[in-house]
Every structure is written in C-alpha cells, then in structure tokens.
Amino acid sequence: MSRRAFRAMGTEIELLVDADDAERTLDAAEAEFHRLEALLSRFRPDSELSRLNEAGSLEAGPDLCRVLGLALVARERTGGRFDPTVHDAVVAAGYDRSFEHVPADADGGTAVRRTPAAHDDVVVDGSAVRLTGVRLDLGGIGKGYAAERTAEILAAAGPCLVNAGGDIATRGGAWTVGVETAAEPLTLELSGASGLATSGRDRRRWRRDGRELHHLIDPRTGAPSESDLLRVTVVAPDAVEAEIAAKSLFLAGAEAAAAEADEAGIPSVLVTADGRTVVAGGLA
C-alpha cells in the first residue's frame, strides 16, 4: 500500500493506492490536485474562479466549465438547497480568507439578503461564462471534483482512495472509512467506484459579535444554516454527488433529511445537534 499526504484546498489530502512503488503516479495525482486548486480557489486572486468573480465574465477552461455545469445542475435538482452563488453570503459571514486565517472571534459578520436565484444569474455558453449580480463559491464541489480527477489518475496504478478532507473518492478494491457519530464511530466499507462526503457545522466555525457562525450557508436566508443537524455523511456514486447530497440533506434538517434519504435510497449517517445518530437510506 502506497500513501501520500499533503495540504491543498485548505485541508488535508490523503492518497492511498493498493500498489507498491506508485511514487510517480502519486506525484502526478498530487500535481493534479494542486493544478485544480490553482483554478478553483476563491482565495487565490489569480485563479480562474477569482478572475471570473472579479470580472463577471470569462472564457473559462474545461475544468471550471465542468464544475460550474455540475453545480448548476445540482442547484436545479436540489431546489436551490445546493447553490454555488452563496459566495457573498459566506464572505459577509466572515469566511473571507483561507480558513486558517479567519479570526476565531471578532466583531461583524452579517447575513446577506438573498433574492431567489434567477435562472440567468450564471450563464455558461460553451466556454463563455457570465455572472449577473452574483459571485461563485465552488469550495465543496471543487474538492469533490478534484478527488474524482485525482482518483482517475491513481487508478492507473491500482485500486485507490482519495480523501480530500472528508470528501472521498474510490476506484476498485474495498476501503473502510470511519464516520464520526454522536457515540462510537461507525465504519463503512466502500467498494468499487464510490464517493463519500461529510458536511457539517462542527468544524469551520467562528464567532462574530458573540454569535457562532459556520460555513454552511442556507441560500434561502443568506446566513449560516440553523439546521438541527450537526453533521451529515453521505455515500453516492462519486464524490461530487456525495458532496451535493450531504450539503442538501444538511440544509433540509434531520426529519426531512432522513425521509429524503430513505425515499431516494441515499446511504446517509445523520448526526443531530442534540446528540442523536440516524442511519438512513438503506445503510446497514
């Protein structure tokens, strides 16, 4: 088993390949992760995403177009619970720089008044992208996308797993993944090509004017979500789908999330703020 760990996209990245002497493949996978971070980070002023947010329009490269396409489809599919246009709301809440530099406790931090998403606020026409009155945050979905791309590269060397700070992509083999619950951790075994993601408000949180805030913005209010869930872990066919579903279920709240996961057959582990763990979506 070959292993590589490094930091990118503001989190710890872990690459596992079931092969000996996979150094060159690990190098290529790590380089791919850094390349995607340089394109999709909202904290790098020279990234494609930052230039798009700054100018409002851009001839975007294939990766940004793909991620944006996935995000817009997800916005439609989740009825707006997953929304890439919450950038200004996240910034207004205080998450305006790479998280390790966000002050843990300070003054300020406000909600951005949101209007319902307009169908033409983000227009992708071939490689031409145009924003009208919004800016984009592709943080979560970008990590899922990078995990999938990296897994594709690693798969050439053997069965593999990519863990991008909780967003997991696997190819081949069987992989055991520990999931935090309200009590004892749960271990899930993923097999084949799968994705897993965890979204929650137990990390990436800070205080403004004495109020605790976090990074999961509810697009309907423009403020950090007041969901009764603490954390949601979802298994899906790939890491992007898992990221979208985890965020969407988190914003739905415990009762609706469990019902939705059961109905759609989305294997999920829901941890509520009052310390309950609900396993849903046929996970057993």
Binding residues for another protein (CB under 8 A) = 11, 14, 16, 140, 143, 161, 163-168, 175-180, 185-192, 194, 196-204, 231, 233, 235, 237, 243, 265-267, 279, 281-284
**CB-nearer residue toward another protein: 114 or 143:** 143
Q: How far is the CB of 65 from another protein (least distance, A)?
A: 23
CA distance 211 to 231: 19
**CB-nearer residue toward another protein: 129 or 232:** 232
Q: How far is the CB of 246 from another protein (least distance, A)?
A: 9
Q: How far is the CB of 195 from another protein (least distance, A)?
A: 9
Q: How far is the CB of 216 from another protein (least distance, A)?
A: 9
Query: In residues, how long is the chain?
Result: 284
**CB-nearer residue toward another protein: 56 or 237:** 237
Q: Is 19 exposed, middle or buried (CB count within 10 Å of its CB: 0-12, 13-18, 19+)?
A: middle
Q: How far is the CB of 106 from another protein (least distance, A)?
A: 22
Which candidate, 190, 187, 199, places its Cα nearest to that of 243?
A: 199
First to last CA, the chain: 28
CA distance 132 to 118: 9
Which two tokens mark 39? 């394109």
**CB-nearer residue toward another protein: 56 or 192:** 192
Which two tokens mark 15? 């690459």
**CB-nearer residue toward another protein: 116 or 178:** 178
CA distance 255 to 276: 12
Residue 112 burial (CB count, 10 A): 16
Q: Is the dihedral of CA 56, 38, 71, 127 positive or negative?
A: positive
In the block, residue with structure tokens 């990590």: 143
**CB-nearer residue toward another protein: 16 or 122:** 16
Q: How far is the CB of 212 from another protein (least distance, A)?
A: 15
Residues paired with 236 in a beta bridge: 195
Strands 105-106 and 205-208: parallel
**CB-nearer residue toward another protein: 158 or 200:** 200
CA distance 267 to 196: 10
Q: How far is the CB of 27 from another protein (least distance, A)?
A: 20
